[in-house]
Amino acid sequence: IGIFQQGILPREVRGLPGIVFSPFVHSSVSHLFSNLLPLLLLIGFLFYFYNKIAFRSLLSLWLLSGFFTWLIGRQAYHVGASGLVFALVFFLFFSGLFRKYIPLVAVSMVIAFIYGSMVWSMFPFAEYVDADLSWEGHLSGAFAGLIIAFVFRRHGPQKPPVEWEEEEDENEEEVNPEH
Which sequence spans correspond to the domains of the chain? 28-74+81-159
pLDDT at 175 over 70: no
Measured between alpha carbons, how far is residue 9 from residues 67, 131, 153 in Å? Answer: 10, 16, 32
DSSP label of 77:
-
Which tens digits make up the pLDDT trace of 55-91?
A: 999 999 999 999 999 999 999 999 999 999 999 999 9
Quote the pTM value. 0.86
